[in-house]
């Protein structure tokens, strides 16, 4: 129930011992839901349409703190329907192979160093033989560069 309260504003208000249906709490619920929709990347107009609010700009403009929060959330969110896929460009591949050729490096650490997932690396390895050979070469050079330890 507590996990659900993190995303359900009405439940959170009820758990706080207040009535979520009073007008003041209804305003809090609408504001929280509006911010959630903006965080998903929806435009203010689309968020207003979904919530059934007309002229949300009026109540948004009445509170400078809330307006600033709306602007900050909108600025930090990608447009709805876009993804934040980071492509394995030739520059990133070169950086990845450089990281992988360091002694003790792992695929996970090398992928994280260039900002991609290890799953993306392994997918590329599965479909690109040249990339697969380059990874093998980078791992081999890392093993050769690793000191053999005390004698």
Q: What is the DSSP letter of 24?
A: H
Quick: pLDDT tens for 76-121. Answer: 776 665 555 567 888 999 999 999 999 988 999 999 888 888 888 9
Q: What per-residue confidence (pLDDT) applies to 147?
A: 63
On whether the CB atoms of residues 12 and 6 are closer than 8 A, the answer is yes
Nearest C-alpha neighbor of 54 from the set 64, 44, 62:
44
In this model, does residue 2 exceed pLDDT 50?
no
Q: What per-residue confidence (pLDDT) applies to 84?
A: 54
Name the H helices within 16-128.
23-39, 44-51, 56-61, 64-76, 90-100, 107-114, 118-127
Helices 107-114 and 118-127 pack at an angle, to 10 degrees, of 110
Cα distance between residue 115 and residue 117, in whole Å? 7
Q: What per-residue confidence (pLDDT) applies to 151?
A: 47
What band does 4 get if pLDDT is binned at 50, 70 and 90?
Answer: low
Quick: pLDDT tens for 5-62. Answer: 455 677 777 777 777 778 777 777 778 888 888 877 777 888 888 888 776 555 566 7
Cα distance between residue 86 and residue 115, in whole Å? 8
On whether the CB atoms of residues 96 and 82 are closer than 8 A, the answer is no
Can you say how many angstroms the Cα of residue 98 is from the centroid of all Cα atoms in its chain? 26
Total residues found in the chain within this entry: 151
């Amino acid at each position: 129930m507590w996990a659900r309260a993190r995303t359900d504003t009405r439940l959170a208000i009820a758990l706080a011992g207040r009535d979520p249906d009073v007008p003041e709490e209804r305003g809090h619920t609408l504001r929280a839901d509006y911010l959630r929709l903006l965080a998903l990347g929806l435009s203010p107009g689309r968020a207003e349409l979904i919530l059934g609010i007309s002229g949300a700009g009026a109540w948004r403009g009445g509170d400078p703190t809330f307006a600033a929060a709306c602007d900050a959330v909108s600025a930090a969110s990608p447009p709805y329907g876009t993804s934040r896929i980071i492509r394995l460009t030739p520059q990133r591949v070169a950086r990845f192979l450089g990281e992988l050729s360091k002694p003790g490096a792992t695929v996970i650490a090398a992928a994280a160093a260039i900002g991609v997932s290890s799953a993306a690396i392994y997918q590329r390895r599965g479909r690109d033989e040249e990339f697969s050979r380059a990874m093998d070469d980078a791992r081999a050079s890392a093993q050769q560069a690793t000191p053999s330890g005390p004698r």
